[in-house]
Amino acid sequence: MDRYCVFGNPIAHSKSPEIHAAYAVQTGQDISYERRLAPLDDFAGAVRAFIAEGGKGANVTVPFKLEAVKLAQALTIRARAAGAVNTLVFSDDGIIGDNTDGAGLVADIVQNAGVAITGKRVLLLGAGGAVRGVVLPILEHRPAKLVIANRTVAKAEELVEQFAALGGEGVVSACGFAEIEGQYDIIINGTAASLSAEVPPIAPTVFAPGALALDMMYGAAPTVFLQFAAQHGAQLRDGLGMLVEQAAEAFNLWRGVTPATADVLSSLRAKL
């Protein structure tokens, strides 16, 4: 039986073991998957200990996604672009770092919500690690435009500069929340505002008719951002689908099979 885990601190809340156990049953893969609490001052030691125990791969969550970049001996293009690693593959060639967050978000939008990104106007709120990880996968779907809005405009501008070279030339732009102009087909909240029950200071006019509003956070009830979006006619998605889809992407990296996600997503939703 091959062993996998998720590293974090704290980690008790993680739904990853439940998700991967369901994928293993569905695809007939003989694996175990556990939560591992890594010490804040020795993430690398915790990973090496797991490898020594025969671990084949791991997911990485808060607060170790940046440390995982340093630990990896090779990075995929999307991990390098994100500047963060959430999936580790332990191979004969060493530790490979990948980032499946953006692919998970895009899969949730395109497959689960049934909303194409190609040719659409996309608004990303925030410019932190969560947003950085999704820019390249969104650009790969060729949106008409991608605007990154942030309280500190300089941070958003840094992202624009970085991603202009990766297919975003003339497509990606940055602005402050107050400077957002026009309407958008897809509005993604990647700020931490939902944690403190706040809505990013955006005008209700950003929601085009029939727009999709997605919050990377999730809970039993819609976040305040999603409540705000609902008042202005948007269709809503929270971050649970992204969680399930990024796990499917990681599972495929490790096992070479892509699990079906719909039943796992609805099962998790029912337990919120």
What average pLDDT score do residues 222-242 get? 97
The helix (run of H) or strand (run of E) holding residue 242 is helix 240-255
Q: What are the start-end ranges of the H helices in 72-208?
A: 77-82, 101-107, 129-139, 153-163
The full length of the chain comes to 272
Q: What does the pLDDT average to over 260-266? A: 98
Q: Percent of the chain having pLDDT more than 70? A: 100
Q: Is 82 annotated as a binding residue?
A: no
216 is in an annotated binding site: yes
pLDDT, position 165: 83
Q: With CA atoms as reference, report the closest residue to 77 among 100, 56, 47.
A: 100
The reply, when asked if residue 3 is annotated as ligand binding, is no
Write down the CATH number for the domain with range 102-238: 3.40.50.720
Per-residue confidence at 234, pLDDT binned at 50, 70, 90?
Answer: very high
Q: How far apart (Å, rounded) are the C-alpha atoms in residues 243 and 217? A: 10
Residue 270 token pair: 């029912």
Would you say 129 is a known binding-site residue? yes
Burial 46-62 (b: 16+ CB within 10 A, else e): bbeebbeeebbbbbbbe
pLDDT band at 61 (very low <50, low <70, confident <90, very high): very high
Report DSSP state, residue 112. I
**C-alpha span between 29 and 10 (Å, rounded):** 28
Contact 171, 146 (CB under 8 A): yes
Convert the pLDDT of each residue in 113-171 to its tens digit: 999 999 999 999 999 988 999 999 999 999 999 999 999 999 999 999 999 887 767 89
Q: Which CATH superfamily is domain 2-98+242-271 in?
A: Leucine Dehydrogenase, chain A, domain 1 (3.40.50.10860)
Q: Look up residue 13 and give its two tokens.
A: 């809340």
Q: Which helix (H) or strand (E) holds 264?
A: helix 262-271
- Tell me, yes or no, if 120 is annotated catalytic: no
Binding site annotation covers 218? yes
Q: Which of 65, 120, 145, 271 is catalytic?
A: 65
Supply the pLDDT for residue 195: 85
Q: How far is CA 117 from CA 101, 107, 133, 141, 189, in A?
A: 16, 10, 16, 6, 16
Please give the C-alpha separations between residue 101 and each of 207, 227, 234, in angstroms, as whole numbers.
Answer: 24, 24, 23
What integer is the mean pLDDT of 61-78? 96
- Is 26:34 a contact under the CB 8 Å cutoff? no
The rounded distance, in Å, linking the Cα atoms of 132 and 111 is 22
pLDDT digits (tens, 9 = 90+) for 182-202: 999 999 999 988 888 899 999
| C-alpha distances in Å from residue 174, one per residue of 122, 126, 140, 189, 239 | 12, 10, 18, 15, 23
CB neighbours (10 Å) of residue 254?
Answer: 21
Give the helix/strand (H/E) hosting 75: strand 74-75
User: Rounded CA gap, 106 and 168, in Å?
Assistant: 17
Domain positions in the chain: 2-98+242-271, 102-238
Residue scoring higher pLDDT (7 or 93): 7
Q: Is 234 annotated as a binding residue?
A: no
Domains 2-98+242-271 and 102-238 share a fold: yes
**What does pLDDT average to over the chain?**
96
